[in-house]
Copies of this chain bind each other. A is one copy, B any other.
Amino acid sequence: VKVSELGQFALIDRLAEMVEATRNEKMPSWQNLIVGIGDDCAAWRCDGALQLAHVDCQVEGVHFRPEYGSWRELGWKALAVITSDVAAKGGSPRYALISLTIPGSMEVENITDLYKGMIDLAKEEGIAIVGGHISRATLFTVTITITGAANGNILLRSAAKVGDKIAVTGTLGGATAYVEMIERKLKFNTACIIALKNTFLHPHPRVKEGQLLVAEGVEAGMDISDGVMSDMRHICRASKVGAMIRANTIPINPEVRACFDSKEALELALGGGEDYELLFTGNEEIINRVKAKSSIPVTIIGDIVAEHPGELIVVDANGKPVSLSRTGWDHFAPPAGSFLQEG
């Protein structure tokens, strides 16, 4: 069986099972582990505190192309994307390790520009870059590991409960709309282009918001990297619950709304990835407190339900299922089929 036939998530499940079989509570590593494979970050006890860690990789030609933006912008984005995983746990980002594979023919300036972008974000978020690795290769890739600190509670994918409201921070669809614009050579006005580009290349990890969620008592959440549908399904599977999302409540990015027809705008907002907003669940009272204190918009988009555990449905204003063709990012996925076929 080829990796492309099995798919990214089935492969991860298989590897996670192999690892889980090695669990050994006699070892200090397993004893102190709180969250292992299958969440935004691993988490373990370190004396009184919690340590968080996560790794992510950006591959030239897969996650970015030269025409998407500058090396400095890529640097910002690469570190922002992974900082978002610490935000998704309600933690504070601390240390980053950078591993690069570089073709020898690459300009040194591109690499130093990449670092400038990472440093821009590192300064803003108080992250110290503390190590790394450089290897020659035929392909440029940047793999970043981030660690974070948390005191007490963290957000988990596995903590959603029936009766919870589902909510998101910010607006959705902008990042994928930018890629669509470039790949399909769509013509938009300059203001739209700048706004979409900024959404894609300059995401702000929702660190403060993640901490606010934990402080207000939210227990379940993650960041939106693969798209609301794909990421919500991760929460549903980890929490063994179902989700009902109301299409008419989705906070679609205003430029996406302006530049695409309403059907495609909804698809981009629900199925497009790389928004790096937070997706979380909690009772309505808690979410209303979060709304009141958050400096960015927080929108309720649906409910956690007991039906169809592990899956979600999207309904229109009349409660009728909406069929979407874009169902989220899988690295080895065949062309996206209808979501409803899966459910």
Using A47-B47, A119-B18 as known contacts, say yes or no to A36 and B108 having CB atoms under 8 A apart: no
Quick one: which of B19, B22, B53, B130 contacts A37, CB cutoff 8 A? B130
A182 on interface, CB distance cutoff 8 Å: no
Using A49-B46, A95-B42, A119-B22 as known contacts, say yes or no to A2 and B134 having CB atoms under 8 A apart: no
Using A28-B92, A135-B63 as known contacts, say yes or no to A51 and B42 having CB atoms under 8 A apart: no
Residues of B within 8 A of A292 (CB): none
Whether B55 contacts A132 by the Cβ 8 Å rule is yes
Whether A107 contacts B27 by the Cβ 8 Å rule is no
Complex Cα gap A115–B16 (Å): 10
A296 on interface, CB distance cutoff 8 Å: no
Complex Cα gap A158–B258 (Å): 58
Whether A62 contacts B136 by the Cβ 8 Å rule is yes
Residues of B within 8 A of A316 (CB): none
Whether B135 contacts A57 by the Cβ 8 Å rule is yes
The residues in A between 8 and 54 inclusive whose CB is less than 8 angstroms from any CB of B are 8, 11-12, 14-15, 18-19, 22-24, 27-30, 32-33, 35-37, 39, 41-42, 44, 46-49, 51, 53-54
Whether B55 contacts A145 by the Cβ 8 Å rule is yes
Whether A134 contacts B11 by the Cβ 8 Å rule is yes
A122 on interface, CB distance cutoff 8 Å: yes
The residues in A between 60 and 75 inclusive whose CB is less than 8 angstroms from any CB of B are 61-63
Which of the 9-residue segments A97-105, A247-255, A305-313, A320-328 touches chain B?
A: A97-105
Whether A126 contacts B42 by the Cβ 8 Å rule is no
Q: What size tier do the contact residues of chain A reach?
A: 35 or more
A112 on interface, CB distance cutoff 8 Å: yes
Whether A101 contacts B57 by the Cβ 8 Å rule is yes
Closest to A130 in B: B42
A187 on interface, CB distance cutoff 8 Å: no
Complex Cα gap A47–B47 (Å): 6
Residues of B within 8 A of A143 (CB): 55, 57, 99, 133, 143
Whether B62 contacts A19 by the Cβ 8 Å rule is no
Using A22-B119, A29-B128 as known contacts, say yes or no to A108 and B53 having CB atoms under 8 A apart: no
Whether A2 contacts B139 by the Cβ 8 Å rule is no
Whether A133 contacts B1 by the Cβ 8 Å rule is no
Complex Cα gap A104–B46 (Å): 38
Using A19-B129, A53-B95, A94-B28 as known contacts, say yes or no to A62 and B108 having CB atoms under 8 A apart: no
A-B pairs, top 8 by smallest CB distance, nearest first, are A47-B47, A4-B104, A42-B130, A27-B126, A145-B145, A29-B128, A46-B46, A136-B331
Other A-B pairs beyond A55-B97, A97-B145, 6, CB < 8 Å: A2-B104, A14-B112, A28-B126, A32-B94, A51-B51, A55-B132
Listed by A's residue number, 30 A-B pairs whose Cβ atoms lie within 8 Å are A2-B105, A2-B107, A2-B108, A3-B108, A15-B132, A18-B115, A18-B119, A22-B123, A23-B128, A28-B92, A29-B93, A29-B128, A36-B131, A46-B46, A46-B47, A46-B51, A47-B49, A58-B135, A59-B101, A59-B135, A59-B137, A61-B137, A61-B138, A62-B137, A97-B145, A99-B143, A101-B139, A133-B143, A135-B141, A136-B331
